[in-house]
């Protein structure tokens, strides 16, 4: 599928109580993280670094400081994700706010963000339930430019 299906996504998230599912791309290089920072600064999506005092990280080394522990990315007017570079720059971790995904347009916008992350860092992006990182329910595979449900629902 070229985008996450809203109905399928809602069904999976309802099983999890609609908490904060995680997204991740593992085994990311420093140069890929730098590419992602560059993409976020191009302002396709409004990205804020709330502890950064109005500044943005210039490079991957900046992500080691508490000022850049997290970033909020406004994917649409109603859908946002929170990036956590403080969890280590060898992976891209983010939370998505499930209750903000109310219709297919929201799922499409989230899919665009996930696709951009996967393409930029050159890694599969997996979606997991909060607190259950081993329980992957969806994945975006950049080599195939495709989303897949990875569970039996």
Judge residue 72's burial from the number of C-beta atoms within 10 Å of its C-beta, 0-12 exposed, 13-18 middle, 19 or more buried. Answer: middle
pLDDT in tens, 21-65: 999 999 999 999 999 999 998 878 899 999 999 899 999 999 999
- Measured distance CA(121)–CA(125) in Å, rounded: 9
Sheet holding 22-26, edge to edge: 46-48, 71-74, 80-83, 91-96, 22-26, 125-129, 132-141, 146-149
CA distances from 43 to 38, 48, 93 (A): 9, 10, 20
- This prediction has a pTM of 0.94
pLDDT in tens, 92-146: 999 998 889 999 999 999 999 999 999 999 999 999 988 888 889 999 999 999 9
């Amino acid at each position: 599928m070229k985008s996450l299906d809203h109905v399928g996504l809602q069904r999976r998230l309802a099983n999890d109580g609609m908490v904060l599912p995680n997204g991740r791309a593992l085994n990311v290089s420093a140069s890929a993280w730098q590419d992602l920072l560059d993409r976020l600064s191009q302002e396709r999506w409004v990205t804020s670094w709330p502890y950064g005092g109005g500044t943005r990280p210039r490079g991957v080394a900046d992500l080691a400081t508490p000022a850049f522990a997290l970033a909020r990315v406004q994917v649409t007017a109603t859908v946002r994700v929170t990036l956590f570079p403080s969890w280590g720059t060898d992976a891209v971790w983010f939370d998505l706010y499930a209750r903000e995904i109310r219709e297919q347009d929201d799922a499409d916008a989230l899919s665009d963000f996930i696709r951009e992350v996967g393409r930029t860092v050159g890694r599969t992006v997996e979606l997991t339930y909060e607190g259950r990182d081993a329980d992957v329910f969806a994945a975006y595979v950049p080599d195939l430019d495709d989303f897949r449900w990875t569970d039996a629902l």
